[in-house]
Amino acid sequence: MLEVKTPEEVLRLIDKEFQPLGRSETVPLEGALARVLAEDIPAGEYVPDFDRSTVDGYALRAKDTFGCSDAIPAILNLVGEVKMGEGAELRVPRDSCAYVPTGGAIPEGCDCAVMIEYTEDYGDGTVGILKPGAPGMNLIFRGDDVFPGKTVLRAGRVLAPQDIGALAAIGKTGVPVHPRLRVGVISTGDELVRADQQPGPGQVRDVNGPMLAALLRGFGAEPVDFGIVVDDEKLLREKAEAAAESCDAVILSGGSSAGVKDAACRIIGEMGKLLLHGIAMKPGKPTILGRTGNKPLIGLPGHPVAAFFVAKLFVLPLLARLEGRTLRSYPVRAELEESLNANHGRMQINACRLEEADGKLRAAPIRSKSGLITQLAGADGYLVIDRDCEGLPGGAEVKVFWN
């Protein structure tokens, strides 16, 4: 029997025992949202590819306008107009200017643009400039945004809409991403029936299967449903082996404590190397982790609330590790609505609701000893109480993890 580990030790163990898979597949840009980038993306070209104006105004040579003012405008010859979406073939000689729209190309020889607000068109082929330009003023130069070889996005990034925009800008329409992890999900227990079945005496519906599948999908993995297995060690082992055969990771739930029928630990130990049996957290203590090669074999507690928190706090970071990324969760600060007890020497997780009132965020812990649905349904997030903490008074500032 392995000793119980602290949550920090478990996260370190995960990093030590599992390595990024380093796999890659190419998907079209429109399918790349929320996928994990498999490689750094360097630009292959200049963006923009030409010098552009950032204002509506006149492109000109700054030195032709030095010293001008409202009272003594610089008078320049207007030689023409740059059209949007066309190159600037115009020649702009000394003491001349050309009209340029926002984003228009700057003609050769010009070194700045003066906003239209600081000019006066005299209508006779000349323009008065009322405010001096300066070299580079109101310009974006070729390659200012990116240039060939500059890294635009790094491997491990989960692609957000703004990243899709950046990829479009450099013409990267085939995007190398990590193939979705296939994760086998098995629920175990003689008492379980599928959610679409009516439980008989002593039976309950399988909560963990659908819940874990949803959690995995939200993370970006592909859950593979291996259904419900009764508490029969041989059958469970066959299912777990089939799952390990075709998936990148296997999650069993139920049967992870030390009961006679609790075979998950033995099975995981026989299929590979047992790394962990027990995390010092509440809920969630009876958790098992093992591996066959670089493939995680995970045994979650059967109790759905425990299974949920262990999966969220440890399984998702583990899967992220396989994809070469690190999960980040930014808690919000909230005021605890009522006191919370904790004095058992284990890290405690409490589901809570968030409420905003008078511009203040308040965290209302969901208290329910055994009420399963009330703890899962409608929780906005959870708060963590350190193992050394003896409880928190109402009004205390807490951090709520909510995404």
Residues in contact with Mg ion by CB under 5 A are 189, 254-255, 302
CA–CA separation, 98 and 68 (whole Å)? 18
Cβ within 8 Å of residue 395, ≥6 positions away: 335, 336
Of 47 and 265, which CB lies nearer to ligand AMP in the complex structure? Answer: 265
Report, in Å, the least distance between residue 358 CB and ligand AMP.
39
Closest contact distance (angstroms) between CB of 207 and Mg ion is 13
Q: What does 176 bind: Mg ion, ligand AMP, none (CB cut-off 5 to 8 Å by kind)?
A: none
The entry of Mg ion, ligand AMP, none near residue 303 (CB within 5 to 8 angstroms by kind) is ligand AMP
Residue 187 interacts with which of ligand AMP, Mg ion, none, CB < 5 to 8 Å by class: ligand AMP
Cis upstream peptide for 20 (omega within 30°): no
Per partner kind, with CB cut-offs from 5 to 8 A, the member of ligand AMP, Mg ion, none near residue 204 is ligand AMP
**Does 206 sit near ligand AMP (CB under 6 A)?**
yes
Closest CB 202 distance from ligand AMP, rounded Å: 10
Which tokens sit at 396?
């205390």
Nearer to Mg ion by Cβ, of 283 and 302: the residue is 302
Give the shortest CB-167-to-ligand AMP separation in angstroms. Answer: 40
Q: By CB under 6 A, how many residues form the interface with ligand AMP? A: 19
Report whether 303 contacts 287 (CB < 8 A). Answer: no
Q: Does 255 bind ligand AMP (CB under 6 A)?
A: yes
- b/e 271-300 (16+ beta carbons within 10 angstroms → b): bbebbbbbbbbbbbbbbbbbbbeebbbbbb
Counting beta carbons within 10 angstroms of the beta carbon of residue 337, is it exposed (0 to 12), middle (13 to 18) or buried (19 or more)?
Answer: middle
Query: Distance between CA 9 and CA 222 in Å, rounded?
Result: 28
Q: What is the smallest separation between the CB atom of 5 and Mg ion, expressed in angstroms?
A: 23
Cα–Cα–Cα angle for 303, 306, 308, nearest 5°? 105
* Nearer to ligand AMP (CB atom), residue 162 or residue 370: 370
**Nearer to Mg ion by C-beta: 73 or 302?**
302
**Stretches 117-125, 146-154, 299-307, 340-348: which one binds ligand AMP (CB under 6 A)?**
299-307
Give the separation between CA 304 and CA 306, rounded to whole angstroms. Answer: 5
Our finding on whether 187 is near ligand AMP (CB under 6 A) is yes
Taking CB under 6 A as the rule, does residue 192 contact ligand AMP? yes
Stretch that binds ligand AMP, among 138-146, 253-261, 266-274, 375-383 (CB under 6 A): 253-261
Cα–Cα distance for residue pair 119/145, rounded to 1 Å: 29
Which residue of the chain is nearest Mg ion when measured via CB?
Answer: 189
Among 9, 39, 191, 270, binds ligand AMP (CB under 6 A): 191
**Cβ(392)–Cβ(385) below 8 Å:** yes
CB contact at 8 A, 40 and 181: no
Instruction: Rank residues 208 and 375 by Cβ distance to ligand AMP and give the closer one.
Output: 208
The least distance separating Mg ion from the CB of residue 215, rounded to whole angstroms, comes to 20
Is 207 one of the binding residues for ligand AMP (CB under 6 A)?
A: yes
Among Mg ion, ligand AMP, none, the one that 235 touches (CB under a kind-dependent 5 to 8 A) is: none
Backbone angles phi, psi at 275, to 5 degrees: -110, -25
Q: Which residues contact 272 (CB under 8 A, 6 or more apart)?
A: 290, 291, 292, 293, 295, 297
Q: Does 348 bind ligand AMP (CB under 6 A)?
A: no
User: Is 204 a residue that touches ligand AMP (CB under 6 A)?
Assistant: yes
- Residue numbers 256-285 binding ligand AMP by CB under 6 A: 256-257, 259
C-alpha to C-alpha distance for 32 and 53, rounded to whole angstroms? 32
- Find out whether 308 and 376 touch, Cβ atoms under 8 Å: yes
What residues line the site for ligand AMP (CB under 6 A)? Answer: 187, 189, 191-192, 204, 206-209, 253-257, 259, 301-304
